Structure 1
Amino acid sequence: MRIENIQLIKNYRIFQNWSPSPDFAGFSDINLIYANNGSGKSTLASLLSPAQSPDAWKAGVSVEVSETGTTEPRTVESSQDAFWDRMSVFNKDYVADCFDFSVGEAKALLAIGKVNANREKELRTARTRLDDLSRLTDSLVKEAKHKQAVPNTILKSIGTLVTSTLGGVDGYGRGYDARAVGKRLPFAMPLEKQSGFKAEEEIAKAQSTFMQEVDVPLISATEPLSSSTVSAVLERVPTARVIETLATRPERAAWVQQGVELHLHEHNCLFCSGELSQERLDALNRHFDSSTRELQDDLRFLLKQLGALVISLGKLHALFPESGLLYPEFRAEYDLLRDGLKIQIQKDVTELEMLREFLERKQQDLHAAATLPESWLNKSFATPDVGRLRKLLADHNDRSTRFEAVRKSACQKLEAFWIGEQHEAYTEALSEAHQATLAVENNAKAIKETRRVITELENAELDPAPPAEWLNQRLHTLLGRSDISVEPVEGNRYAIYRHGEPALHLSEGECTALALLYFVRSLNTGGRSRRNQIIVIDDPVSSLDENFTVGASSLLWSELVQPSVCSCGAPLDCPCGQKPTRDCGQLFLMTHNFELFRIWSNQLDRLQSGVMKQGRRFKILELQAQGKRVEVGVARRVPIWRDWGSDQNKEHKALRTRLRSEYHYLFWRAASTLISCQGDPTIEHEMDAAIILPNICRRMLEGFLSFKFPALMGDFRLQMQAAIDQVNDGLTRQRLVTYLHQYSHQERVETTRGVNRPEAVPVLHAVFELMRNQDAEHFMDMCTALELDPVLLANRAPNPTSELEAAIA
């Protein structure tokens, strides 16, 4: 059982949509990993303990693993997979969980009592059952996901049919999805009603477009005008004795008639002042007698009636709206009637105007009889019958009033019909999904119960007394002093003492030492075999001194790779009978402490043949953060694996041998990065150069300048300023000043900030020029030892463009 490769990390800190390069061959049995701060090492360690990284696993992680008894690797994508029950991870989170810093007591995580044979048997049985249940989980979950998707797929298909057909109706648009269909399931059309359902007719109703109501005009009644009545008036002649001069001059007669009315009680003419004789007045009265006045009144009445009728007809057609405002089924008949009305109105108005001319001429000449054309003798003029037009408008309005009800009813019928067609298939799919879900839940309950049994069995074995003695012995050896000790107390916990007094404030290093011992001792508890465990150790000496580095390295090597002492602390030939397993299933040792890395690298190269014969292989890796452009103008640090060789690949052994110290490594790392930027460097190469400036270069310069300026040791800025003052070249001085003020002060590597520093390559050149200027012999010796070309490092970089000069300045 081991981790073969980490294939994908979607979103976890520095790992963003990350996957290893295609040429990365995966992990081995023993994996030594070196990494500088900010490269993702600790993030990776917490990722391998899913309980510490739930957000990462929720976002998406894919790990390739192999297990005992199987020939093909499998992919783990769940934090709940039983594979993780075999993981043991030591990191800062583990240390924090081991201690209650407020009281200075360690939790009894590693307290071990006598092993009960029956309990171990029960543990083995429980673990086998857990493995079987866990293997079954994948197939059950996969089947459940498939079954659970089927009912929703059926509902989606119904929803798609509804929205594509009825999308224009309120309530059946985009919001009509599978959930909406699910709510309508109780209203599904029964099977017996589906055969007689006319879907096409209902679709036509549902897809019709709403038309606004129109006004139905109210037609005022006008009195009909008969041609016979007009003809009779035209033929009438007054019976009075006429005055010839007035009869022959109608325009004068009208003027004189008006004058007679004004002179009823006058004796003199108001116009000429002449005398009005009674004889003349009698003659005028006979000319304008009652028959004349009656005819005039009749003519005026007819003209008024005719005028009202013309006005009414002129407005009538406009009262009826265009047919485009009506539903399509009404338009043809409506247009026919409306056009006919227009023609009828035009004809009637024309003829009425002709009648008006006849009447006006008669009004001018009362004594001349007139006749109408014979074709008009039986005509009658009145408002046309528009009842059918008004009926069509009323029918349209009635349809508009009931529009939503008609469409809604059609939509509901169609909805019930389509749901009814799929109801049987949906019910069956729902039942299958429920059974599949129930199988997953029952399996999960069984796993939970089995884990509970295992936990109870493991906790029942805890006995803090024996480990306390073991812990004190190892702790004194590890720290090189005996002032710290532990004693068992009630509740399976330990009391911690310093010089016999309660140690209420442990240093970070002391906590790490205790936690590391607890961790190593716990690997054999609970009936577990190291052979079945994957052990991850992240920075076991990150906060301790060099003496502890050697002690921690020896402890881990002896416990996890090749024991040098018995489990009780005596030599290996001890007769106590305790024979710990000599190795674990898989080991990951991650560190940014170069001394620990160097010790283990040398030991792995000299790994004893006895361990090799057991099939134990090793690989040495470095996790580096390289620049990668993620969008225009923005780059991110992206972790990559660098292979430093393995037991089967000795290609890099010579280089590992040359890197005798951290200083050698830093020099080689900075130099190799700069060499990769020769010629026309890519943006990624320039980003790599920018990445190493705040960390790698600073640590390299700290080591170099502490040797050159021992009096200024501890003050990097003063050391840099002293070295810069001795540089004669102006451009190099300018670049070094830029480095000092902009980059060298960064104590912590920013792993999420974008990188865009094209001046990084010239600054790197300036750093090596500074070292050559200070100590040319040392510089050349380092290049020779590491097989580097000094010309590529210290020759001043080509003059930058004016833009770059401005950026540096």
Structure 2
Amino acid sequence: MAKIKSIDIENFGSYRGFSWNKSVIRKGEPQEFKRLNILYGRNYSGKTTLSRIISCIETKKYPDNYNNPSFSITTESGVISTNNVFSVNENVRVYNKDFIKRNLSFLEDHHNGQIETFAIIGSDNQKLEEQIKVQERNLGNIEERSGLLYERQIKLNNMNKARELEESHNSDIEKKLKNHANNKIKKNRTYGHANYNITKIRADIDKIRKNSIDILSDEEVSNLKSLTKEETLNEIIINSPYQPQSLHFHKKVEDIVSKKINPTAPIQDLLNDSILQAWVKSGITHHKGKRNTCGFCNQELPADIWQKLDKHFNKESDDLDRNITEVSNSLKSEISNLSNILGLTKDQFYSSEKSNFETYYKTYDKSLNLYKKQLDNLLNVLEKRKNDIFSSIQISPLENDGRDLTLIIKKMYELARKNNNKTKTLAQDKAEAIEKLRINDVAVFIQNIDLAKEEQKSSELKKKSESETKDLNEIDNKIEEIKKRIEELRIQQNDERKGAEKVNEYLNHFFGHKGLSLKADEDSKESTFIFKIMRGDNEAYNLSEGECSLISFCYFIAKLEDTKTKGKDLIIYIDDPISSLDSNHIFFVYSLIESVIAKPLKNSDGSNNYKYEQLFISTHNLDFFKYLKRLSHPKRKNSNNGGKSKAISDSQYFIIESGEHSSKISLMPNYLKDYTTEFNYLFHQIFLCRDSINANENHERFYSFGNNLRKFLEAFLFYKYPYQYDKNNSLERLIKFFGEDPTSTTLTNRISNELSHLEEIFDRSMKPIEIPEIPKLANFVLDKIYEKDPDQYNALLKSIGEPERVP
């Protein structure tokens, strides 16, 4: 259990902005709570509120109607604040009004209230205790490195290491995936997009694996990238299918060149020389009907030259020549038109089809050249016959009829139609290209990092982690079974009747109150016990406030020995347990605290063994406070400069005061701690108000001045003038004290009464305190005391740590 060292309260009940280090100070240094802490404060000063803050640790909830609570408790092991107060596991037990409401609601509501039962270990359960010890030995202890708890710690460490390795490896994979998704793909202008993230890259990886997608070649990647940059092209106009004419021309040429003709009167020289014959025939068109001399030698042409030539070049040869010319011209026209039969260029195609076009075009060009060569051959044959009109020619069969040309043109037209269709699907094709590029990028990435191998390692690490977790769960189950068994044994030990007997023991032994007792009645239907308060043989109702206080406090002390509490190092907070009790019962409450809680046990080495880890007791009653000073005060060892240790007090005294804006905690003045009287305290408060400058540092003293002055003068003047002659004159003692000064008497009476009683002059509480009047009156009263009895005045000064006043 970690001791409480200090507490800061920003907002809780009567506390607002309370800072421990600014208030609880001695010689300029903040002090701390110790093992035993005695707190004194008047009613409504903030004592119960402080106990409620500590109680939040025990009850795991805030009191009703506390809005926006804010506090922090500094302990030896850390800070408990409103952020974690319900999650800490500290052994705290608090006695205050809330404890009574929770556990003894019967005292406030006899009809609907009840008394919560509790059980303590019975004296006849030694065998059960031995069985519990055996089970506890099986559980063992981490610090002692024994039993299942130590084994569990080892398993827990192994599991944590395995999980850490698994998480670290998975985190590394996650980091690589995130980095590639965010920095490589998302930022790629070709195929990335703004929303690409680790979830999407995982989806792409699943797609690659599910569809067994292979990595693309460099050429495929290049084509896809080109496609992503494509702009819409115009539609390609496709020509009518070309019909080859080679067979037709071959037949015509064959008919012409194979035809045999003879001259009517042949000229043998021309027949013998085809070149000469061709030269003569061409010269006819230049001479006949135009001139009578030879255009070559300028000699006179013979008169019968035309008749001879006409008989040699007869009509049949002329017809054949004319046919040759006609067919030649058709062939030439056909050859000339071949350059326009395709009507396609590479630039008309999308980049994805250009390679196909180029492949087709090579075949087309080859087929076209072969086809054209065939036609050229036919043309040459005709030319040859034309030059030797009377010699027939046998031509070879046609090698290329143009069907391969027709076929390749057909394929290229199909490619053109496909290209035209691509215009309609270009947007979708580009989207598909982008996806293929992105998928390929991911495929290359997972190959580079060998993701399959990394995931295999993750799987192995997961199996290891799961195995370690399984081992831990198995040992946890064993521990849980043992704890369950211990709980079952504890339940068998529980005896609610012993709890009631313990309360009665305290009532009878310490308070001699045999008239009241607590009885544990068994409820046969529920198999449980019910606590009842008895007066003799009858159930008690209409208890006095004092009886309620006695029973509730004895109940609390007895409950410290219940099965949930006994044996634990406790922080105990007891808030004003003497409400409505007379002086005798106040002493007995002190005796009960001393004997059951405060008095230490002796160890074998003579050292003290305290029954509590830390004890807080608060009160408003000076008589009870006087007894609390007699409690066994704990001591602790402290090494001095010489290396020797000596025992020093481990107790501390505090005072809780209510101010104008907030309650506050401070160290108790020595005079109050040493003399145990409020008289010295009141004198000190008046003494501090003698200078208005003090109002800037501690305004609440001035706020309480009237009440303090009234109470001090009542006590001081009573002992100085114990007999009052005129019972009806409330100012008689004041007049005697101040003498022949009616103005001062009236002023003192007004301030002390108006500032301490507001019921008839409530508007005074709504107005600012008249600071200048207070120091004036404080000094007047102090001066009068010194004037009347300087010895007593100096004794009072000495009791509050102030130097004596000299004449």
| Structure with greater Cα Rg | 2
Under a length normalisation based on structure 2, what TM-score does the superposition of the two structures give?
0.49
TM, length-normalised to structure 1:
0.49
